[in-house]
Amino acid sequence: MGQRGFGIITIALLIALLGCSKEPVKTTQGYWDSARLLFANKKYAETIKEYQKLIKHYPQDSLAIAALFASAEIYKNNLSDFHKSLDVYQKIIKQYAADSRTPNAMFMIGYVYANDLNDLDNGRKWYNKFIETYPDHMLVPSAQWEIENLGKSLDEIPNLQSITKESD
């Protein structure tokens, strides 16, 4: 095969490879809107996949961290997959450490451990880590309250006793 034949094969391979590459077919807002529509139709797994595409194609866009938070909330609230929710919150902490929303992810790790998984030791650990890492954050009083009331039923928490008695 001559140099010309080799060149044609090379070009054909390049075209085939470029044709198979998965370029973003939507804008960040397009992925976001598509995910929100899927969520409204209770298609939670598909919603997460759409968010994952947004994050993959546009990791530095401001909607990427919002998509991660939304995914974590879907895992937690709609799919009851608390461990996957924790994984997503951990990813936020690792990949978006400087973002102003990242402290909320650390708080939520403590919350999921303490309130959803009833893993009080890990809940306490993450709440304390949150308080140490972000001592001036507005959620610090909530983390402190959570630590003080770990493992207590609503009836055992003085501030909530009047609320639970009113609802009886």
Does position 166 have pLDDT exceeding 60, yes or no?
no
Q: Is residue 107 part of a domain?
A: yes
Q: Is residue 139 part of a domain?
A: yes
CA 67 to chain CA centroid, Å, is 7
Quote the CA–CA distance of 104 and 112 in Å, as a whole number: 12
Q: Is residue 104 part of a domain?
A: yes
Structural domain for 67, as ranges: 25-84
Q: Is residue 7 part of a domain?
A: no
Q: Which helix (H) or strand (E) holds 54?
A: helix 44-57
Q: Are residues 79 and 110 in the same domain?
A: no
Total domains, the chain:
2
Contacts with 134 (C-beta within 8 Å, 6 or more apart), sequence order: 103, 106, 140
Q: Is residue 156 part of a domain?
A: yes
Question: According to the model, what pLDDT value does residue 46 have?
Answer: 97
Task: Read off the pLDDT of residues 12-59 as tens digits, 9 standing for 90 and up.
Answer: 555 555 555 555 578 999 999 999 999 999 999 999 999 999 999 999
Task: Read off the pLDDT of residues 81-118 as tens digits, 9 standing for 90 and up.
Answer: 999 999 999 999 999 999 999 999 999 999 999 999 99
Other Cβ atoms less than 10 A from the Cβ of 60: the count is: 7
